[in-house]
Amino acid sequence: MAIDERQQQYLQAMGIQTWLRRDAKEAVTIHAAQTVTVINMPAAPDTVNAGMEAVALPAGNEVYQYNWDQLKNAVQQCVACDLHRARKNTVFGVGNEQADWMIIGEAPGADEDRQGEPFVGRAGQLLNNMLLAIGLKRERVYIANILKCRPPNNRDPRPDEVVKCEQFLKRQVALVNPKIILAVGRIAAHNLLKTDSSLSQLRGRCFYYGPQNIPVVVTYHPAYLLRSPVEKRKAWQDLLFAQAVSRGATN
Ligand code: URA
């Protein structure tokens, strides 16, 4: 993949150094801490299918007929679980409602609860840089979470909260109808794919979500990458893999 100057800057912000061989037309990416290891490009298209799995959606209720305004309003009014009691704002989702890429995270944190927008804190900054590294501005994608309200002290979402909230996310996915869903982190992956497999088992595979069979690729949560920057190299591989999937490499 040819990497232009701007992308190189974002890759550096992700902690990934790029080197351009004099005789090569393409840049190779090398993690700063591993100067001799060239990152492999994503799996060849014919091997991508190996991880195909379908995740069925249950039969719908009226939420599944809502348009965007009705859906936003329903989320704003929602009192289905106790999380509504402490919230400052619901965090519906943001971005291009016709996006090719949908990013799904876990739940709002303190910054998101305050601003009513997903991924606006430090993890959000890194997510923005990860997206820019593959040429995607934040405004071009659609970003949402498994939960629309902040769990206290950022604890993991509870199953009953996920069940009550998931109709909203399912309708968002159906309305956006993206070419790919990037599930960031264990909680997003587990709840979307209804699995408890480890993240390392889920990475590098293509799953399919809902009646529209939307491809899902799993990667690390940016908050985890802030704590474990050495894993950014693998996240970069995941992004390239997701890019190949979004371009139809699985067909
Ligand atoms: N982490 C998430 O998973 N989502 C957000 O919106 C913010 C942090």
* pLDDT one-digit tens code per residue, 131-141: 999 999 999 99
Ligand 1 atom index nearest CA of 222: 1
CA geometry: angle 175, 180, 184, nearest 5 deg: 100
Q: Report the residue among 114, 119, 186 best suited for mutation to probe ligand 1: largest number of ligand atoms under 8 A from its CB.
A: 119
Give me ligand 1 centre to Cα 186, in Å.
12
* pLDDT one-digit tens code per residue, 175-187: 999 999 999 999 9
Residue 57 banded pLDDT, cuts 50, 70, 90:
very low
Closest-CA residue, ligand 1 atom 7, reads: 119
Could you tell me how many helices (H) and strands (E) the chain has, helices first? 11, 9
Asked if 209 contacts 194 with a C-beta cutoff of 8 angstroms, the reply is no
Look at phi and psi of residue 145 and say left if phi exceeds 0, alpha if psi is from -120 to 50, else beta: beta
For residue 218, the cross-strand partners are 183
Residue 8 has what pLDDT? 65
Reported pTM: 0.82
Class level of CATH domain 36-246:
alpha beta
What is the average pLDDT score of the chain?
A: 84
Give me ligand 1 centre to Cα 117, in Å.
9
Residue 5 has what pLDDT? 65
User: Nearest to residue 154, comparing CAs of 196, 187, 107, 112?
Assistant: 107
- CB atoms under 10 Å from CB of 159, counted, come to 9
Give me ligand 1 centre to Cα 38, in Å.
31
Residue 61 banded pLDDT, cuts 50, 70, 90:
confident
